[in-house]
Amino acid sequence: MYSDRSNRGEKLSSYKSAAVQYGILLMMLALAAGLWRLQVLGATNFRELAEQNRIRKVPILAPRGKLFDREGRLIVDNYPSVTCFLVREQNKNVDEDLPMIAQGLNLDLDQLKATLKHFRSAAGYQPIPIKQDITADEQAFIEAHRNELPELETIEEERRLYPRDGFASHLIGYVGEVSEDDLNNNPRYAAYQPGDVVGKAGIEETYDQILRGEDGSQDVIVDSHGREMGVLGTQHAKPGQDLKLTIDLDLQRAAEIGLGENNGAVVVMDPRNGEILALVSHPSYDPNAFAVRIKRDEWNKLITDPRHPLMNKAIQDQLAPGSTFKIIMSAAGLQEGVAQDMRVNCAGGGTFYGRFFHCDKHHGVLAIQQAIPLSCDTFFYALAQKLGIDTIAKYATSFGLSQKTGIDLPNEMSGVMPSTQWEWRNYHQKYYAGNTISVGIGQGETQVTPIQLLRALSGIASDGHFVRPHSVNPDQLPADFRSALIDSFPGSGEKTVALDPDTWMTITDGMAAATTSGTAAASHIEGVDFAGKTGTAQVVGGGDTHTKGGARTPNSWFVGMVPRRNPELAVVVLQEHGDWGSNSAHIAQAIVVDYVNKQRKRDNNLLQKASEPTKPVEVGAVWSTPDSGDPKHEAEQLHTGHFLVNPSEPAKQIAMKPLSLGALLNAMPLRWKEGLR
């Protein structure tokens, strides 16, 4: 019995011994695996961590591309600036240093704490921007306290410098830090980091990818206290691409001065190719306030201003077009064969659908040839009744209304064009035919933006050729970016709508008559084929009181072009509560005068430089002077100006006299004369 117990004890001891041996083996294997992971698999990572203990990677921010006008004149520049960052891993007692930092950098202590709280989830090595554009005194403070405040770092960068007084601000836009919402919800900002500066509006936003460039970095050797000991290497930043805009600074200045302090918008465009030559929205804002970090009270003031200074009214203000819509009506009536033989007796208005609709005058019996320049409401009431709302809507939408134009600026609005389908989709009811009468004169539910109206009317004057407005020449852009741009800014774009020649002639002649003997006669320019259409649009709750600037005062519209057919310049002017449309026509007149004088000066310079006077001379991008072999004839053609006559109708060309400054001053209202002298 004793022997059996002894054998069992020996067996148990051998089991225990084997278990211990295997356990030791497993521990050795685990240690070996850990060493393999640390020394082989993780070697690169730990080597980088070790390098970071003595090497700091300092970012080199890429300078943003500059903006120039169409003639190469600088609009937006950069200036050298220094930004202060805080790196928490450089000091474990950052919170204790905050009062000293706030005092030395002239910061609000609570705001500084809020900034650090915002970045509390970020890695400790990530630089936190605490003050941009620091002064020389603040830089001296940082350098003098390197030992006490090792967490403070500075980075040199180039910051945006915009024109003063909000010049072209809505066209250009501004830059600012990318928001947390953009980083989390907008795929466009997937590659951006907190603190990155991005375009926030206008061209700055649309072309941010082109303008921003690629940041570089510098490897700086530091000691245990964070002090720089030398530079190990530098990866240079790649500057952003400069862009040449389609804007003409001279016309932009004329448009800014013309609109003045009036709330509204002005857009000047070349209808042949869609190039925006000037774009103004007022009231404006100072984009330089955003180039650093805009103060909260300044931001609140902007967003609570009832005049909406941040709204780009040229592409976002949706208002009734008033009588400018009568050009759309005229095209629809003539194309449908309805308006040609219409004769309407205007006795101060007319009765339609059992209700009397007023006209501002007693025009008597008139046809469409007189109805356009005199802007007779009664005639267009009758035309609207004959056409019906859906026919009107068909032509309005074919001319681009109720659709975005596709202009390369963010947040364009599409406007409204009522129809029976629109009424049912939005209100689930049948369209009331009586509303068509108001639509016929550009009132009712109809809403357009200035850029839409400009494109529509200038397209009709261009024999049905409608262009996509743009502010940057696409030739500067990479092919993939151009393609993405069209997808990002959908709209009616470039298209052609077939117009009957008689329709084209009747409408363009009617608009030319409006500036000679019609509603815009006071804006006539002697010797210039200046055509256009005024619009006085009633506002909601408005009345018959015409007090400029009053809340009940109508909005004032004008769309003009030079020449009347196939124009090379078109301009739209909107004055909110600006009263009669003729008031806006005066602003357009001044812009056209500046354009004409500049073109003639250019043409005269070309004439003086011509080395072969018998050779045909190029005048603009549309046509050349005839190859007559007569130097005198060619000189007269240049001096006359290619914008005064229509080359497609030689038999109808009018002999024009050179437009002298004296003739201009005599033809213009007194309030514009001082500005031209």
3-state secondary structure 385-407: HHHCHHHHHHHHHHCCCCCCCCC
Separation CA 134–CA 115 (nearest Å): 17
**Domains with residue ranges and CATH for the chain:** 55-244 (3.90.1310.10), 314-561+576-590 (3.40.710.10), 598-676 (no CATH)
| 8 A C-beta contact, residue 437 and residue 498 | no
Strands (E), 239-348: 243-244, 264-270, 275-282, 344-346
Which amino acid, one-letter code, is at 31? L
Q: Does 291 score more than 60 pLDDT? A: yes
Q: What is the DSSP string of 413-476?
A: ---B---HHHHHHHHSSPPPTTHHHHHTTT-TT-BB-HHHHHHHHHHHHTTTEE---BSB-GGG
Q: What digits encode the pLDDT tens for the residues 646-657?
A: 333 333 333 333
Residue 228 is predicted with a pLDDT of 67
Separation CA 196–CA 59 (nearest Å): 12
Q: What percentage of residues in the chain have a pLDDT greater than 70?
A: 82
| 8 A C-beta contact, residue 280 and residue 259 | yes
- DSSP character at residue 214: B
Separation CA 568–CA 284 (nearest Å): 28
| 8 A C-beta contact, residue 529 and residue 666 | no
Separation CA 328–CA 291 (nearest Å): 43
Residue 633 is predicted with a pLDDT of 36
For the segment 424-442, the average pLDDT, to the nearest whole number, is 94
3-state secondary structure 622-651: CEECCCCCCHHHHHHHHHHCCCCCCCCCHH
Q: What digits encode the pLDDT tens for the residues 147-177?
A: 888 888 888 888 899 999 899 999 999 998 8
The upper half-sphere exposure of residue 291, i.e. CA atoms within 13 Å in the direction of its Cβ, equals 25
Q: What pTM was estimated for this model as a whole?
A: 0.79
For helices 94-104 and 109-118, what crossing angle results, to 10°? 130
Separation CA 509–CA 532 (nearest Å): 10
| 8 A C-beta contact, residue 251 and residue 275 | no
Separation CA 451–CA 315 (nearest Å): 6
Report the sign of the C-alpha dihedral through residues 43, 46, 52, 58, in that order.
Answer: positive
Q: What digits encode the pLDDT tens for the residues 588-606?
A: 999 999 999 998 888 887 6
For the segment 601-621, the average pLDDT, to the nearest whole number, is 52
Residue 656 is predicted with a pLDDT of 34
For helices 389-398 and 377-387, what crossing angle results, to 10°? 100
Distances in Å between the Cα of 313 and the Cα atoms of 193, 322, 349, 413, 416 are: 32, 17, 33, 10, 16
Separation CA 293–CA 296 (nearest Å): 9
Q: What percentage of residues in the chain have a pLDDT greater than 90?
A: 55
Residue 514 is predicted with a pLDDT of 97
> Which residues partner with 345 through β-bridges?
365
Q: Does 284 score more than 80 pLDDT? A: yes
Q: Does 614 score more than 50 pLDDT? A: no
Residue 596 is predicted with a pLDDT of 94
Residue 638 is predicted with a pLDDT of 30
Separation CA 20–CA 16 (nearest Å): 6
